[in-house]
Structure 1
């Protein structure tokens, strides 16, 4: 996997004592540069972790997020208690190149991050995605050669083109209208591909048929362990979305409905992040 020279990175000097975090740009299969951070995690009893024994958590953020957003860094710190962590900015987000396709080509971004984690020597990879990132980890795990040993999808939609809530109607305006894409670029630091505004809906990604939907992807993930997490106060996607995903997963999936939780990484409480870490370590085998 082609990439630029890695450089030291630490959000807080001394924040990790299991090794020096690194930051680099990965190159995806379609040539996009993806800003990525590798944190080897905390040492255990003062002894640096061994990549071959510990899992690595590859964290996929939500739409308009990035590797540097505070809630993504908070999740990374929580997962660093259980193993190494790779965070990255999807295309069109943060310092990454390209333009956002809102869950389509982003599978290639995640694949590059997972491959980098493997290159660092980790035998076990856990992908954890939030909202848009939650749909990406599902599709990534379903499309073959994924390399994930466990998958966690938090606050993900079950189906495309959902407009049943006010936040999702605003998001559709942001993505499909030229004025919305300007707001995304200059107000939210998210560069959105203009082809997403092309009617009809089946050409929303610039191709027909549209990408595999999350609920269609889920049955293809088995036997890889799958955890679906959703808040019962999610303002974007009501509970029929996680229930559809869980039903599609059958006995190979597990569903957690979190009381009082809102949407994605911004709303995920610290305790939930640690429960996810415990679940992943137990099942990434």
Structure 2
């Protein structure tokens, strides 16, 4: 399944709440509101069968990977395996990544990809949904929560809203070039030769146009998330975004946000330990409704 599948959308015939949905992993193509095909996977989660937690079956996590990741990458599957001990997990490849169609907009229109995945989780019978994003995905879950709020009759009324948000290793502001790794990432995104490396080296197809208009930044999005519970997680050794980024996000969140600064942790999925992923799973399960 490659980029050329964008015009074909496979429909799952599994009924929500069925035993098949609960026990069998599913893979399908979801259509976003702007018509992009998104490669998506549902893992039912071992916690579903835990009789000591009868309400766990109505909870699902939707995982948003970092830039150049995709649903089949080992580091993404490791996150899914850890979180599936707490709840069912939906993960997907962002547009322009892996088997999804379209081109990456590096965090802009990716909110539509996440919205489609959240709707799918609810369509599979999960009343409570928590979005968990890493790096670029961390910025996307923040903007998605701000744009798809359930309150005040917003766009979330169609099932795309989230009940809690976890943002890991996210930037607070756009166009940051203060570290060598971010300068290399900007080369990858903005230069023709960099985009060739992205396409053939990382299975990531990047649009050549810049943002127009520039989307709301993560730090601008955060105040609009309340009262939805919010957790911000950041490694103290993050080589992409220094600690002023999570602190800016936490300051913008005020009383409704929680900040974990993790000693010895680097950046995003690769650096997230099993212990940290378990803590995130526990936090999310306890905050989602």
TM over 0.5: yes
Other-structure match for 1:276? 280
Q: Please, which runs of 5 or more residues in structure 1 have no aligned partner? A: 9-16, 196-203
Mapped to 2, the partners of 1:52 and 1:75 lie a distance apart of 18
Aligned length: 266
- Structure 2: tracts of 5 or more residues without a match: 1-7, 15-20, 149-155
Aligned twin of 1:81: 85
Equivalent position of 1:166 in the other structure = 180
Instruction: Rate the CA distance shift 1:6–1:178 in 2: closer, same or farther, 3 A.
Output: same
Offset at residue 3 of structure 1 (A) = 4.0
Match of 2:164 in 1: 150
Aligned-residue Cα RMSD (Å) equals 2.1
Cα distance, 1:100 vs structure 2 = 0.3
Q: Do the aligned partners of 2:48 and 2:87 also contact (CA within 8 Å) in 1?
A: no
Structure 1 CA distance for aligned equivalents of residues 249 and 49 of structure 2: 39
The answer to whether the 8 A contact 1:151-1:225 is kept is yes
After superposing the two structures, state which structure 1 stretch, 49-58 or 132-141, moved more.
49-58
Shift of 1:234: 0.2
Of Structure 1 and Structure 2, the greater helix share is in: 2
Partner of 1:257: 261
Deviations 1:23-58 (A, max 9, x none): 0000000000000001111155566x9788531000
Q: TM-score, normalised by structure 1?
A: 0.89
TM-score by length of 2: 0.88
Cα distance between partner residues in 2 of 1:182 and 1:167: 18
Preserved CA contact (<8 Å) 1:155 1:234 = yes
Out of 167, 182, 206, the position equivalent to 2:196 is 182
- 2:19 is aligned with 1:5: no
Q: Secondary structure at the match of 1:194?
A: coil
Q: C-alpha separation between the residues in 1 aligned to 2:245 and 2:72?
A: 28
Return the match for 2:145 from 138, 141, 147: 141
Please say if 1:239 is aligned against 2:253.
Answer: no
Closer, same or farther: CA 52–258 of 1 in aligned 2, 3 Å: closer
- Partners of 2:56 and 2:265 lie apart in 1 by 35
Residue 113 of structure 1: how far off its partner (Å): 0.2
Output aligned runs, 1:1-285, within 5 Å: 3-6=9-12, 19-44=23-48, 53-144=57-148, 145=156, 146-195=160-209, 204-205=210-211, 207-208=212-213, 210-285=214-289
CA distance in 2: counterparts of 1:43 and 1:271, whole angstroms: 17
1:199 equivalent in structure 2: none
Q: Helix, strand or coil: the match of 2:97?
A: coil
